Structure 1
Amino acid sequence: MSAKMSATVRYSAMRLGIFVGCFLVMWGLVYFGLVPAGANNSNFFWVLLLALVVSAPLSLVLLRKQRDEMSEQLVEKVDKVKERFNANRSQEDGA
């Protein structure tokens, strides 16, 4: 796996890990009655929603460095694609 891909995979895995951790914590809080349970047996979806709401700002703060690294790599890749596109276009214009 290339270094460029590993930053994306690492960020995604860390983000998923934060979500899973939040899901387990929220499940425990609902199970012990510290957070209200979902209505009409919708506990799973309620806990899923709570985990999404809690994990999003945590990921934003905790994964800032990894997100910046991934962003830089994506910008470099897009710039290379643009350069190749412009080179191909100039070759077609010359022909």
Structure 2
Amino acid sequence: MIAISVLYPKTATSKFDTAYYHDSHMKLVDARWSHMGLHGSRVMHGVPGPDGGAPTYAVITILEFESMVAFGKAAEAHGAEIMGDIANFTDVSPILQFNEIAV
């Protein structure tokens, strides 16, 4: 199993439509990739820390795939559509990090 972290930076001027993200974008991701090795996803919203400081990321989403090969095939098949939808909910570019699930 692998986990792909999709991190959306938060800046003083960045915008993020959480309703669209949950109601449309994540449903699109699930519809296109759930039969291609996507085992699950988790969406986390950044909140201020104990000191009141702003979070670094507005949203972090974790996508769990059965393998890097499965993700590669899913991205090849539907990546352009999914990445093209990003402009509908945010004005920032996401950062992707690929992770091996160890525990």
Higher helix fraction: Structure 1 or Structure 2?
A: 1
Higher relative contact order (CA 8 A, sep 6+): 2
Of Structure 1 and Structure 2, which has the larger fraction of its residues in strand? 2
Provide TM-score, normalisation by structure 2.
Answer: 0.35
Larger radius of gyration: 1
Tell me the TM-score normalised to structure 1 length: 0.37
